Chains A and B, each alone.
Chain A
Amino acid sequence: MNTADFDFLAGTLKERSGLMLTPDKVYLLESRLTPLARKRGLDTLDALVQKLRMKTDQTLLKDVTEAMTTNESFFFRDNTPFDLFKNHVLPAMEKARGTQKRLRIWCAAASTGQEPYSLAILLKEAGIKYSNWNIEIVGTDICTQVLEKAKAGKYSQFEVQRGLPIQLLIKYFTQEGDVWQLSDDIRNMVKFRPFNLLDNFAALGTFDVIYCRNVLIYFDQKTKGQVLDRMRKVLASDGTLFLGAAETVLGITDSFKPVKGQRGMYVPSDGTAEQLMGLG
């Protein structure tokens, strides 16, 4: 791929999804977009870029964006963010929301659904305690294709083995040939909707917990800061934000501060979440 084509694709992707594509990722463009070009009846990647430049086909732009956004996901990925949720966030919310009995959780890069479903399973496992609570888990992703898969709750043998303890597989899945189907009672706990993190958050409402893991790494510093500042505005002042293990707010925004000793866990700088969780 020539430099002009690469710059064009990188620029288009940045504008549309915030995705930062450095020249060392040219292999990613080739490996992900070549199958798409073929599917569209185009012989080469060059032909695809040319068609994109003509800007006549909006669905092509959408397909390119979807193909380039990373969608790898595991159940209970990295364990820690789920342990922290169970051991600190939930008990704190039980105290703070004990009267309203209402909890809203946002998984901002839900991909194929493993993260929101892991939280749903975790809440289900916590049992009767939350059975009379109104708990809403919202899973969003820029890619509608992965959300369709998420909604269906159908996973391959490989996918159900990455992070899902066998006891939970037995309890919450049924086997349909090669496919493992997640049970309806877990699926019904999560609402999925397409959403671009560059868009206005207001329509989503406010949340008590936000999971936004391994997505900011694809944005430049300025975009990261803007997204985090806007997340602060839709998060309760005693709420919690989880970022990926390799991500941070330090040097990017003052809206959040890290919780000491708890990797990936952040709270509003002006909030009360740490005291509430006994981590202050």
Chain B
Amino acid sequence: MLLLKCPCCGVEGEETEFHCGGEAHIRRHATGSTDGEFASYMFERKNPKAVVFERWRHVFGCGKWFHAARCTVTLEVFATYGAQVLAPPKPVIAKIKARRPDWRQK
């Protein structure tokens, strides 16, 4: 059972305090988008066997959403960071690269 640190309140809590909201940094396609764009936004997810960026909510806690960069193979958590960004911040990328030198952001 994962341990996650909520960047919003600072609690390092167990997974039962949190709710996973799936892949992060997905751009919303709404009015005016093509069928393809909309379907991709709604339904297409990467699901890689490696580094993932996920959305989590501290449900039994401060109630805030945040992002986690994590490895789906080893479950290592590289970093957690605020939800109000469109892409992983540079320090997060640096932390991942420090642990996974071969990793390339797609």
**Binding partners A and B:** no
| Chain B residues in the interface with A (C-beta under 8 A) | none
